[in-house]
Amino acid sequence: MAPYMHSVLRIVPSFMFMLTGTMLLFAFPKSMNKDGSTVHLMSQIGVGGILEFAGGFMLLIGLCTRPIAFVLAGEMAVAYFQFHAPDGLWPMSNGGTAAVLYCFIFLYFSFAGAGPWSMDTWIKNRNK
């Protein structure tokens, strides 16, 4: 049962992370901007939105999990130190709790892989 929960632990945060990207890029299910607009793609936040949407989708299906999870863990570390840490050290007081959790969840998957319910596993088993 544990290997399947490993996959569930990848799928649920990946879906939520992907939705953060859709909020930035498509204003869906709502916009992160008060005026309802989307971000500029060539801005730092726009690049973050692309990483969150595309990387979140790739992790959701479990394709190229290790390198993508490593890049996304780095993105979340940068997000924490650039946007949250200047407001104080502790994540619960600077609004950075999600960034820290995503960072370490993705770092885990960069070492542990995707689990049995993934495209990585399907491709590996198909080529045997």
Residue 13 sits at φ, ψ, to 5 deg, of -65, -30
Distance CA 74, CA 127 (A): 31
Per-domain residue ranges of the chain: 2-126
* Residue labelled with tokens 């570390």: 77
Are 48 and 38 contacting, i.e. CB atoms less than 8 angstroms apart? no
Using pLDDT thresholds of 50, 70 and 90, give the confidence band for residue 127.
Answer: confident
- Strand, helix or coil at 32? coil
Token output for 60: 């959701």
Per-residue model confidence as pLDDT tens digits over 61-117: 999 999 999 999 999 999 999 999 999 999 999 999 999 999 999 999 999 999 999
Distance between CA atoms of 109 and 28, rounded to whole angstroms?
A: 27
Look at residue 48 and tell me whether its pLDDT is greater than 80. Answer: yes
pTM: 0.94
Question: End-to-end CA distance of the chain, in Å?
Answer: 24
**pLDDT tens digit sequence for 30-40:** 998 889 999 99
Average pLDDT value for residue range 20-35:
94
